[in-house]
Structure formats: structure tokens, C-alpha cells
Structure 1
Amino acid sequence: MQQFLKSWFSAPDLVRGTIRLTYTALFLGAAVIVPQSTSAQGLFSPAVTVNESVITKYELEQRTQFMRLLGTPGDPNKRALEDLINDRLQKEATAQAGITLSEDAITLGMTEFAGRANLTLEEFLKALGENDVAPETLRDYTIAGLSWRDYVGSRFLSLARPSEGEIDRAMGRADTGGVQVLLSEVIIPINEQNVGQVKELAEQISQLDSFSAFSSAATQYSAADSRNNQGHLPWVSLTKLPPQLQEVVLALNAGEITSPLQVQGAIALFQMRDVREVAGAAPRFAAIEYASYLIAGGHSPQAQATAQQLAAQIDTCDDLYGIAKDQDPAVLEIQSLAPAEIPLDVALELAKLDSGETSAVLTRNNGQTLVLLMMCGRTADLGTDEDDGRQGVANALTQQRLEAYAASFIEQLRADAEIVIK
């Protein structure tokens, strides 16, 4: 059950169209698990009071148990206490604003919750019941989460929407500057033999809650060259990243980790270390030309040695024609594609390369073939009215600001509240 629920919360979502809030993993509320360790007499005695609202020991223990069930990082007792306090403050704010939900909206929210785990609502409730979680728990979570989402949207959405100029700057289109991000990465090769183990490992890494833990995971498990630097990547312009990754990265706060991203032959995870705006327009690209040279042996020492020898012999992509002239034509492919057309794993590696640089991280043929990747060059985008990613960037910026407004508002509510821990 724990792995089942963890898979729901960490499901990859490259286009995050819903609001993620710092203090609501998704739906907040009170579960109704009866802890065996608490006597019936003390079950409903106060553990914390928040203004005039009581959090019982019963609620605190069940929230702690539920967090353990989800595999939530950190101390589940401390996280449960903080979340329940925030939950009470959020409920108070939504009640004062007169926010109410219809039964249809509640049922739809519960059904969508279950659907993300590929279950019907009935199946989901049965799975929860098998772990001593009553149906009312899911209902309470849904009501609190949807109410808070509506409240944050109605109060802060007009303030959170970015201007056209801010979107331009984020996309590197304005003359005043562009956005650069500082990321860490873990790239784990995957094949038919290790798929289950790698997916489980990636889920665990996605829930790490510190820079040091992610760096350790990169050093231990990553196949990328960056593992020698704890997974740390240098500053990179947002426009150099694959278009399908730009919105995901923009939605991260410092320390946050992406959900596991399935790419060909590997699973990738990224942690945001920092973001900055720099002077000067960031270049945008209409096309990227790159070469792929295939080497038998996958990540074997022999194949890696061959890749290193070839990389030392070539200065441009054209040099690879001489290397491959007496071999099967399928060994070498040089192509020029629009950024959105490049496979995600290739685009991720190309983002790290300048013209003439190479990478030997990717594999094909179920890990049996190593790819020597070389950046040939980038063709600048001279400007176009069409931009499929513009709305995505706008959504990501809006989401970031909603999170910041919501977090700041919660801190204000906590500062003004009378919170007594018994």
C-alpha cells in the first residue's frame, strides 16, 4: 500500500496545469485511523489548540501514521504536527471567505484522487480501508484541499499572473536579460532486467529532502559524468533546456526535485539549486545539429574507452564521417532538428554541450549500445509569432508566485494565531 500511494504522489507530470502549494501536498484534512497505542479515554483529548480549534491526539497520531504510509520524507511526527496546524489555519481562512463546495465537486475531487492511482473511487476506498483508513478521511482531505486551492486562487491569482515582459525575460526573449538555472542531476540507466529496481530507486530519490542527500545519490547511482561532481551542473540558460523540461524546472523551488522522468534508456531526476536573471538576452534556437555515433558494448569499460579515444580524435561533427566511412551507415547519424523534436534524453545531454563537445552517457538497444553524442551547432531563432511553450512558461511563473503568496500568507496566519501545544 505504501508503494501504491507513493506512486500516486510522485507520478510524472511534465505539464503541471494544477496549482502546487507548499503547505498542501495535494489534499489536507484529518484522517480517522484508530491508533492502538492510544487509550479510548485519551483518544480525543487535545494535543494542540489553534485559536479556538482543537487538534486531538487522535488526529495527530492518524496524520503521523498516514504520512508514514505515504513515505513522506522527514520526521513524520513533526511533519504531521506542522501540517495539522497549517490545516486548521487554512480551514479558518476559507470559512471566513465563505468558500463552500458542492457534493458533486467533492465527489469529483475524490474520484480524481483515486483515478491518479488508476483506481475507481470504490477501489481506492477499499485499499485505504485495508490500511485502517476510513472513507471520511479521503472526504476530509478533499474538502480541505479543494477549498484552500479555491481560496488561494481567488485571493492571489490576479497578483500572480506574469506580465508579457516577465514571460519574455523568463524565455530569454527580452533585451534586458534571461533566466539561468543551477541544477543537479541523477541519470539512472534502465533496461528490461533492472526496470523494477530502478523505478523504485528513482521514487526514493525523488522524495529526498536535502541537497546533500541528492548529491550522495548522484555520486552513488548516476551514470552521467556529473556524478564526479556530486551531480552538480553549471549554470545553464533556461532556453538551452529541452522545451518539455523548461516548465517543470521553472516550477521548482530551491531544494525541490522533479518526479522521475522517463527517457530512452534511463530515468532522470533534477534538483533545483538556484535560479537567477542575467543581463543580456538569452539566445533561443530554431534548430540544433548534432551527431550520434554508436559503439557496441553499452557502458562497458571497453566501450567507454573507445568513446574517449574517438572524442580525442575529432574536432567537428564532419570528422565522424571519416571515422565511420567503412562501417555500417547506421552507425553514424548527423541531423538538425527543432528543439521540441529532439528526444528528451538527447536534448538533456545537448544542453550541457557547446559546439564540438561530446558526451558518452546515453545508450540504445536496451543498454547494449553506447551513444557518442556530439554537438555540431545551434541555429539562432530570429523570432516568430508562434510559441507553443509561452503559455506553459506563463503557467509555471503563475504557479511559482501562487506558492510564494500562499506560503507567506500561512506564515502570517501562524504569527497572528494563538497556538498552544499541550
Structure 2
Amino acid sequence: MRYPMAVAMAAILAGTAHGQTAPARPTAPASTPATPSGQPAAGALNPAAEAAPAPAAPAPEFELADGIVASVNDRIITGYDLRQRMLMLILSSEIRPTQENLPAIQQAALNALIEERLKAQEITNYETLKVTDEEVGAEITEMARRAGLTSEAYLAQLSQAGIQPQAFRENLRTEIGWSQLVGGRFNSRARASRYQIEAEVRRLNEAAAKPQYLIGEIYIEAARVGGQQAALDGARQLVQQIVGGAPFQAVAQQFSAAPSAAARNPGDAGWIVKDTVQPALQQTFDQLQVGQLSNPIPVDGGVYIIYMRDKREGSSSSLVSLRQLMVELPETASEADVATATRTLEGLRQGLTCDNILSQATATRGVLGTDLGESDVQNLAPQFQQVARSAEIGSVSTPIRTPLGLHLLAVCGRRVGGLEAPSQADAERRLRGQNLAVLERRYLRDLRNDALIEVK
């Protein structure tokens, strides 16, 4: 497992800071600004949104006194600690410090230090959980290798940026230990059941027929930054920095309170189905073009920044598995014959399932049973298509009249055709990641609620 802060620094020191993961096709406007390393920024602001913030002023110097700035269960955080974490945050996110955004950077750094203290204290409760110097060294060696440097050169570059190697090592030690603790404690609870996986596959298949948006997100939680106005002001500063060249993923990793901040690609919210989000977000999704970045979007409890990575229409290929019972009736059949057939099928329908429908046909005189297999909905008889598209999996329809007779349809499966079709393995990985992230956030929240935290 790689550790977020360290990975960001490794990428930056290699000259390949976290870039965006927009589609390869050149969809962003030609005026999209570039990062200092030559990479494209997240994207242009939505032209339908409010005017972009004014360009940032030259970066200010910042100094903090060396006294105690906070304590966590009597373990202190000093001004030195806070300066070090601010430098790590600035380096890893490529945010350019300004007079306007320094308070937000300081608050984010302080929050990170408080959580680090809580994690470190919790780790000490597990005597068998010891992160050795060798493990920390191995991680630094791997990070340096990815940056094309030796370990010594890598740490020297951190020192040149003002980050003391010892502070960096201790941060890394805590993150390694916390990752091991969370994985060991919650691994079994994070596993999804077979029922959950099957339900997720069905949900993904049903969603695949609707328009979808591949989203990058940053969420500034008002409660963590001093209120809604502070969240809005901070979000405006981040938009300015991203448009000016700071990589979206690195900014999301350090400033976002959304679960996606801890994703393999920080800020990656994945494919979002139309009309499954708050109206303010959906309106923005509809307005943004691929490669564009939104202005801050206030919602209850905080503010979002959205990066539109891609869009796609719903899949045109929807496959459904059907089985049927049928009473043959020509188009010229009398109303009396149709009524008799209807009573027969209605009498059978209540107890039918996908598992017994064919055996019931064999046991009932005058009724035929057929496994129709898997078909594209568009290729089915028009009378069958509505049931095939919308009926619940496992349900049996009311009698349906066609030129061939009267039918009961059992919908036994549904999936997307083509490359977008989700697999059970995909669904299982998705659910496990979501479950583990929820359990970790709850764990850290409980530690914070139980702690004595004082900010000077």
C-alpha cells in the first residue's frame, strides 16, 4: 500500500506531480492553463458560472511562533510541527501560498496534525503493531526510486524545501501503522456479502442505461473550517490555485473532506448517474463540458468544486434473461378463449419463480414453457420490451397478448451489453473500498469525539 502524502511528494520530486485523469482525447479548451511542469491544469472554468477569481498575489512568507498551538490528550503540537506540516501540504498539493489562502492552509495542516496525533496514540494501544525503521526506510527507498533518485538525494530535496527528514519519517511511520491497523481491524467487516454484490451488479446494470458523468470532486466541510462562509472563501482560493496550475488530484488529497480524497486517484468520485445527486450538483453536471472546472457550489454543510472528467450517454445495449409460460392463441381467437387462457395463467402466476416456471409449464395441460435465454431488449417483441426494461429481477408479469398467444414473462436477469458491463469482481472491489472508507472515517471520528483537544 502507498501512503497519500508520501506518494504526492514522490511524484512532485520526480517532476511528474499528480496530473488529472481526464480522457485522453483533447476535449479541454485550448486556453486551459498549464502547470509549472508543463502539464495541463484541471480545466477551464465553466463559462456559464460566475467570473473566475482574480490572479493570486505574490506568495507571502509565513512565520509561526515555536510555542504550543494545540494539544491532543496532553500531547502537544508546536508551531514547529505546524510549520512542517504546512510545508508538506504546500509541496504535495502544489498550492501557491498567498495572504488569502494561508489561513486555510494552516487550518488544514492543523486538522491533519490533530488526526495524526490521534492515530499515533491509538496505534500505541496495540503492542504487536510496531512499524520498524526498516519498513519506513523501505517505503522511502521505493518513493525515491519512483522519483528517479537515491534515498539520500530524495531526503536532501525534502530538506531543501524546508521539510526535516525526521518529521517526514514520523509522519510516514504513523500512516503506515494506521493503514495496517485499519486493514487488520476492519478487513473482514468491509467484505461485501454475496447478496450485496449481486444487488450492486444489478444497480450498476440498471444505472448504465442512464446518462453518466465521470467526476473529480473536492468537498470543503463547513464544520471543519469555521463555517459556511469560510468554506466558500477557501473553495474560491482553491479554484484560483487549480486554474493557475495546481494539480486537481493533489489539491483534493490535501483539502477535500470527501471520501474520494483517499482514493487511489484522489478526488476521483467515479461515474455518477444522472439525478442521483443534489439538484445544485446536477445542474452543474449538466452545464460543464468535459475538461471544465466549476466554481464553488454551496450545499448544506459545505461547498463542492467539480471537475468534469468525462460524460457518456446510457448504454444502448441492455441484455435481459427471460423465461415464459404461454397459451397458444391465434389472433382470431374469441374473447371467451382469451378470457379462459387469462384465468389459467393468472391462477399459476402467484407461485411462479424463475426456478419453477418451466416445471409448472410441464405440469399444466395446454401451457407451454420456454427459456428465452438472454436477448437485447431492442430485439424483443414490442409487447415484451416494457417488462424487459423495467420489471424487477425475479418478478413475473401479468398476461401479455401477442399475435401468437398469451404469455407470462419471468425476468431472470438483466445486464449491460458491451464493454461497460460491470462484473461481480468489480462490484466486490467497489463495495469493499466504500465499506472500508466508511469504517475508517467512523473510527477516526469516534477517536476525535473521545479526545481532549485544545487549540491555543
User: What TM-score range do you get, normalising by the shorter chain?
Assistant: 0.3 to 0.5
In our comparison, the structure showing a higher alpha carbon Rg is 2
